[in-house]
Every structure is written in C-alpha cells, then in structure tokens.
Amino acid sequence: MPTYTSLPGFRDFYPAEFAVRAHITSTWREVAHRYGFEEYDGPPLEALELYTDKSGDEIVGQLYNFTDKGGREVALRPEMTPTLARMVGARAGGLRKPIRWFSMPQLFRYERTQRGRLREHFQWNVDLLGEKDSAADAEVLAVALDGLRALGLTESHIVARYNDRRLLERLLLEIGVTEANLPRAYNAVDKLGRDTDERIGTRLRDEAGLDDAAIERVFRVFRAGGLDALRTEFGGIEGVGAEIDRIAQFQQRLEAMGFGSFVAYDASIVRGLAYYTGIVFEIFDRRGELRAICGGGRYDRLLGTVSGADLPAVGFGMGDVVLTELLRDLDLLPDTAPSVDVYLVAVTENEQELLLRAAHALRHGGRSVLYALRPTGVGKQFKDADARGARHVVVFGPDEVAAGVAVVRTMGTGGEERVPIERVLAGELTQTGA
C-alpha cells in the first residue's frame, strides 16, 4: 500500500498546528477591526497576466501556473495586491475613500524552501487606498506593529526599519543613476547586509552603469546612519531636505501613537520591488536571526497600472511562517492542548437519554460538550475526560437520578457539587446557576 506525504514546502495542520494558526489569524483580524479595516477575499486562481503585468515575465518561474481546461493561462496567487487592485478597480467609483481593507489569503510560490520560507503560507494583507498623506503610511505601520504587540511581542523583540523611495531617488539621481536604471540600483542595494560589498558593487557597475566613484557614493548614502547624519552629509542636494522633513513627520506621528521605541530610520531598507513609490518598511526580530517578519510601503501607481483606478495606496504583507518561528523561539505560542467545557458520564445505559438531553441543553447554552458514544465503564469515561482536557465532568448515576441530582466535578480542583438535574437541563452547572 503506498504511503503519501504532503508536497515539499506545504504543511499539514493537525489540531495543535491549526490552533496556532487560528491564534495568529484571529489576532490579526481583531487588530484590523480595531483600526476600522474591512475584510475581503478573492479567488486563489487568477489569470497569469495579472502577475506578469505587475512584475514582468520573470515572475513566472516562481509561480504555480498552468493552462486550464478552457485554454486560459492561470496561476495560483503568489500575492494579494494584484487581486486587490483588480477588485478595487472594478468598483472604485462606488467605494468610500479612503478604502481600508484587509485579507488573510493562502499564497503559493514555487521557491526553494528554507527556515521561514515555504511554498505556501498565510499572509495578513492590510491596505489603505485613496490617501496620499504620510498619516496613511503611519496608520498602516501602526496596524502591523499592534498586530505583533497583541501576540506578545515588544520593542525588545522587534523593530520596524523604514526609508523613503522618494529620498533614495533624489540621492541616486544626483549620484548619477539614470531614471531607467533606478530599479536595477534598488535591486542591488536591497542586498545590503545579505551579500558582499564586492558583489553589490559589481551589480551597480554592470546593471546600473555606475563607475567606482559613484558606487562609493552609493555606499555612503546607505551607511550614513540616522536622518540627522543624512541631512548633514547630503542635505545640500536640492529636494533632499524636504524629503527628510517628510520622513521626520512620519516618525513623529508614530511616536505620538506610542510606537517610537518600535521604529527606526534605516537607509538600507529599499524593498527591491519596482512599484514602491514612497515610504517603505520591514519588521525584523531584534536578534537578527530570521527573515523579515513583515514588509510593505507606498505604491501610488500600481492600481492605475493594473486596473485603471488611479488611487494612491499603502499596505503591507505579514506571513505566518516567520512569525510562528519567532513566537516559538520566544515561547509565546498558546497552549494547544485539547480542552472541552463539559464531559458527561452515564453510569448505566438507563441514563443515556438524560445525558443526551443535558448535552443538547449545555451546547445550546454555548458550552462545548463531549461524552462516550457507546456504553463504557465509568473509569474509562473519566480517563477520557481527563485526556480531552475537560474542565467539568457531570455524572448521571442511578442513585443520583433517583434523587433528582447530578454530580458535577471541577477537574482542576477535584471539588464536587450535587446539582439539581433541572438546572443542568437549563444549561447550568452549579446550585447558584453559574
């Protein structure tokens, strides 16, 4: 008989693993609702050109794509932003601005698996569309940080590093990067800290057309330090001061919202994707042991490109894989042991009908209830109740039923109480009606 396993890079979610995923996604949803964002979803299968139009034909190598039975070129969604753009574009005129939407799709990419990266993952996407002011950027980053804070992470665990592509563009153009080569320069410097200076310099020379002197100036930009150091060294370049002021306002807004200790300016944050147009950010663990937990930024031209809806936009994506790794490392995952509110025990078959009536009443009242599905000894029933994490066990025995009561045991303390059966049938477990 063949033995089947899940495909490489894909996960089985047994109850314990699913409980972790549910804990994360329910926290994401609760925080998004706190900020007034509405949940949406779209199909997991989209036209291939939705992704190639946004990212170029080279993305096809990273996709699960095929020709469907209708002859259409399609792909499992690798990201949610193109679907968002398509959906908003279809109804842009009737949507109240700014649009505050979030989703938690399962995404698929055919990539090399490693710690923190699989071929599928669930991702929290939060987007704010229709507002150009940096207040929208700060609002979106605040959602991401609050989502992580609600999971138990503090400023000692995580940091959000941010930059602004408008500032980078002014500096790189001044250094000598042509506008056409800006995406290549961004892609090269996006590897800072993950590749050698020599290899990054080679890419800047070969792909962005820079000479050695210009390459040295590029490195100076990305290693200038904080905003004050950047202003001191490059503030004389036209427009740079105004861009630094814009970034400082973004920082001040986050500080006023209580996130000052969570954020830091970092000139090396680039986000290599070409569609970013303003503030960009990534959230990392402070120890630097994992990939970025979250990434996002402003993408004011993307919706117009994909859907024709010319709306400014800012958003982020936060995957569950890296986040789960970090929560596990910090012992912040929830207890996933099974639990149930009530386990009902029938001593003989004569109490079975009463047990079923009690189960219906307690479930109707909102409690989770289990019982043995076939006649079983009392000892085995108690053992099963303990294994399933029952908080209370309600025993129906011949003598108790004759007296009109059931015995309710609180498993944590071992305490017992004789409760009138009519109270149990009313969904109550104590003499006082609790």
Residue 349 and residue 301 share a domain: no
Helix H or strand E segment including 407:
strand 405-410
| Boundary residue ending a domain (272, 304, 329) | 329
Residue 261 is assigned to a structural domain of this protein: yes
Residue 235 and residue 281 share a domain: yes
pLDDT over 80 at 193, yes or no: no
Residue 4 is assigned to a structural domain of this protein: no
- According to DSSP, the residues that pair with 406 across neighbouring strands are 419
For position 189, what pLDDT does the model report? 84
Give the model's confidence band at 260: pLDDT under 50 very low, under 70 low, under 90 confident, else very high: very high
In whole angstroms, how far apart are CA 200 and each of 35, 192, 306? Answer: 40, 7, 31
Rounded to the nearest 10 degrees, the angle between the axes of helix 15-34 and helix 320-329 is 110
Residue 149 is assigned to a structural domain of this protein: yes
Residue 310 and residue 202 share a domain: yes
pLDDT over 80 at 95, yes or no: yes
For position 430, what pLDDT does the model report? 87
Please give the tally of structural domains in the chain.
2
Residue 243 and residue 139 share a domain: yes
pLDDT over 80 at 273, yes or no: no
- When pLDDT is averaged across residues 137-166 and rounded to a whole number, the result is 97
Residue 387 and residue 302 share a domain: no
Residue 381 and residue 267 share a domain: no
Mean model confidence pLDDT for the chain: 93
- When pLDDT is averaged across residues 101-130 and rounded to a whole number, the result is 95
Give the model's confidence band at 98: pLDDT under 50 very low, under 70 low, under 90 confident, else very high: very high
**SS3 of the chain: helix, strand, coil, percent, to 5:** 45, 20, 35
Residue 335 is assigned to a structural domain of this protein: no
pLDDT over 80 at 282, yes or no: yes
Residue 134 is assigned to a structural domain of this protein: yes
Residue 379 and residue 260 share a domain: no
Residue 432 is assigned to a structural domain of this protein: no
For position 270, what pLDDT does the model report? 85
For position 258, what pLDDT does the model report? 97
- When pLDDT is averaged across residues 414-421 and rounded to a whole number, the result is 95
Which residues lie closer than 8 Å to 40 by C-beta, 6 or more apart?
84, 87, 101, 102, 103
pLDDT over 90 at 1, yes or no: no
Q: Are 286 and 157 in contact (CB under 8 A)?
A: yes
For position 355, what pLDDT does the model report? 97
Residue 161 and residue 271 share a domain: yes
Which residues lie closer than 8 Å to 274 by C-beta, 6 or more apart?
183, 186
Residue 306 and residue 369 share a domain: no
Give the model's confidence band at 362: pLDDT under 50 very low, under 70 low, under 90 confident, else very high: very high
Most confident listed range (51-60, 168-177, 222-231): 168-177
Give residue-wise pLDDT tens across range 119-133: 999 999 999 999 999
For position 299, what pLDDT does the model report? 94
| Boundary residue ending a domain (270, 302, 329) | 329
Residue 267 and residue 178 share a domain: yes
pLDDT over 90 at 146, yes or no: yes
For position 308, what pLDDT does the model report? 77
| Boundary residue ending a domain (290, 305, 329) | 329
Q: Are 9 and 73 in contact (CB under 8 A)?
A: no
Distance between CA 163 and CA 182 in Å, rounded?
A: 16
DSSP string, 270-327: ----TT--SEEEEEEETT--S--SEEEEE-TTHHHHHTS----EEEEEEEHHHHHHHH
Give residue-wise pLDDT tens across range 195-223: 898 999 999 999 888 999 999 988 888 88
Residue 147 and residue 214 share a domain: yes
Give the model's confidence band at 239: pLDDT under 50 very low, under 70 low, under 90 confident, else very high: confident
pLDDT over 60 at 382, yes or no: yes
Residue 360 and residue 312 share a domain: no
Residue 37 is assigned to a structural domain of this protein: yes
pLDDT over 60 at 433, yes or no: no
CATH number of the domain at 60, please.
3.30.930.10
Residue 115 is assigned to a structural domain of this protein: yes
For position 379, what pLDDT does the model report? 97
Q: Are 224 and 265 in contact (CB under 8 A)?
A: no
- When pLDDT is averaged across residues 93-105 and rounded to a whole number, the result is 96
Which phi and psi (to 5°) does residue 36 adopt?
A: 80, 20
Rounded to the nearest 10 degrees, the angle between the axes of helix 182-189 and helix 197-206 is 170
What domain range is 126 assigned to?
15-329
For position 271, what pLDDT does the model report? 83
Q: What percent of the chain has pLDDT over 70?
A: 99
- When pLDDT is averaged across residues 243-272 and rounded to a whole number, the result is 92
CATH number of the domain at 351, please.
3.40.50.800
